[in-house]
Structure 1
C-alpha cells in the first residue's frame, strides 16, 4: 500500500512479514532513483518502528538506500490482539523476527547489496540469521553484552529497580509489562521483559542461554564490514559493553567508533535518542 504522507524524494509502502507463525508489520522506504543498497533496521527493545521513520526517509532521500523498518511480534504496529495473551520472547524478536525481516528484504532485492543496521538489541543476533551471508555491510549502535553492574552509578539504581521483584510481579499480574508505569513508555510482552531481565542480570547476556534454550549461532555467517558504534554518554549500554560484543562476530571486518556529544554540538546523546529527528546531525556519522 503506497503511503502519500512521506516527503518528496522518496516513496514508501507498508508490508507484512511472515515470521515463524507471526505477522510483522513493516514499512519499506525507497529513493526515487536507483538504490545503491537495501538496508534493514532492527530496532531497540521498546522502540516502535515509527520512531525510526525520520532516519529511514533521510537515508532513502540523501543516501539512496531502500530502508525496511518493522515492529517485532506482538509490539507496536505488529500487535494483533491483547498483549497479555502474547507468548513472545526477546529471543523470538532477535532470532526469528530479525532474521525474517532480513530474509524478506533479500527476497525483495535479490540483486542489490544488503546492509543491516542494528540499534541496541538489534545488533546482537546476526549470527542466528541465515541471510547474513548476503550482507556486505553491517552497523550496530549501542549494541552490547551489558550486565547491570556496567551502568554508571547515576543510572544503575534505575536499572536495579527496573529488574526488581516488584516490577517482575507487576508484569506477572498484568500479563505484560505496563511500560508507562515503570518509565519505559511502550508496553512489552511479559516474555520479552523476562528474557531482558534475566540477561541483563547474568554475565554474558543471551550467551548464557546458548545450548540450553537457544540454539548455537553461526558466527561464520557474519563476514560483512562491521561498524560497531558506542555512544560516550550511553548509560544503558556503555562503550565497554559494546566492545564486549566484538566476540559475537569473529569473522567480520570490524571498525569501532565512538559518538561524543561535543563533537556534534550536542549536550547529550544517550542510548535511544540517536535516531530522533532533533539529533539528525548524528545520522551521517552512523551511516557514512
Structure 2
C-alpha cells in the first residue's frame, strides 16, 4: 500500500502563504525532476500514484496543495482570502522555485493539470527548465461542454454553486456533492473566467499581469483527452492558439489508442489509466 512516508515533506514559501508539499525522490541516477501543479479542487494526494510511478523511473516529483486547501489549509475555509490568481501564479511560481532548490542539478520539468497548466505564461522560468507539459488545460467556456455535461456545469456556475458560496462564504463542495470545498475567492474568480468569452482577460491589469505568449522558453506540449467533457479539446486548442504558430506541440489523446475505455479530465491521473502515463511524462 502506498504511504506518504515514501515522500519527503517539503514546506514551500509562497508570497503571502506557506504551502505543504511532498517530494518523491527519483530511484537510481535521476533523469529529471518535475513539479506537478494540480487541478482546481484536486488535492495532491490524488497524484501520489503517478508521482511514485515517475520516481521509480528516475524522475523526482514535487506535489503540493495550493494555499488554504488540502495540506496547506491553516484556517477555516470561510476565512480564506485566496483567489485563483494566487493559486495559478503565486503558488505555482513558489513551487517551481522550491523544486530548483531541492534539485540543485539536472533537468527540471513542469506538468500542469487543468488550472495547473494555465499560469506559466505569467512568469519566467529557471534556465534549467526544459519541458512544460499541460494536460487538460484550456480557456474553457460553459458553452464548450457537450450537452450530456452542460446541465451540471450550468448548475455549478449559475445555481447551486453561487448560492451555496454566497451563503457559506466558501464553496461547500462536499455538502453539495460538487467535489472538494474551495475558498470563496477561488470559486468566484474561477466562475468569472469560465462564464466569460475572454476568459481571464478582464483581470489583466487588475490581478494579473500581461501574459507573454510569445516568450521563448522550455519545450511546450499541450495534451487534451478526446473524451474530456470538463475542459473539452476545443478549449485546450483555444489556449494553444494563443501562442505563435509552431511553439506548441498539441496532441489529442484517444482512449482506444491505449486500450482504455475512457481517459476523462481528472481521471487521466487515476491508476486505472496508468497506461497513458508514459505519454503524459515524456513522449
The TM-score normalised by the length of structure 2 is 0.93
Distance 2:66 2:32 in 1: 23
Alpha-carbon offset, residue 166 of structure 1? 4.4
2:9 aligned partner: 14
Number of residues of Structure 1 aligned to a counterpart in Structure 2 = 281
Question: Which of 137, 142, 147 is the equivalent residue of 1:143?
Answer: 137
Question: Which of 177, 197, 210 is the equivalent residue of 1:183?
Answer: 177
1:81 aligned partner: 75
Q: SS where residue 280 of structure 1 aligns?
A: helix
Q: SS where residue 178 of structure 2 aligns?
A: coil
Give CA-to-partner distance per residue, 1:62-109, whole Å, 9 cap, x none.
Answer: 2x1110000000000100111110000111000100011001111222
Distance 1:252 1:52 in 2: 30
Alpha-carbon offset, residue 133 of structure 1? 4.6
Report whether the alignment pairs 1:30 with 2:28.
Answer: no
Distance 1:286 1:165 in 2: 35
Question: Which of 36, 44, 47 is the equivalent residue of 1:52?
Answer: 47
Question: Which of 200, 219, 225 is the equivalent residue of 1:206?
Answer: 200
Q: Is the 8 A contact 1:74 1:88 kept in 2?
A: yes
Alpha-carbon offset, residue 165 of structure 1? 4.4
Q: Is the 8 A contact 1:46 1:184 kept in 2?
A: no
Distance 1:109 1:221 in 2: 25
Q: SS where residue 267 of structure 1 aligns?
A: coil
**Structure 1 regions of 5+ residues with no counterpart?**
none
Alpha-carbon offset, residue 207 of structure 1? 2.7
1:114 aligned partner: 108
1:26–1:222 distance in 2 versus 1, CA, 3 Å: farther
Q: How does 1:1-288 map to 2 (within 5 A)?
A: 5=3, 12-62=7-57, 64-131=58-125, 133-219=127-213, 221=215, 223-250=217-244, 253-288=247-282
Distance 1:176 1:254 in 2: 36
Give CA-to-partner distance per residue, 1:93-143, whole Å, 9 cap, x none.
Answer: 001000110011112223321100000011111022333554211111100
Distance 2:103 2:152 in 1: 43
Distance 1:275 1:166 in 2: 27
Larger helix share, 1 or 2? 1
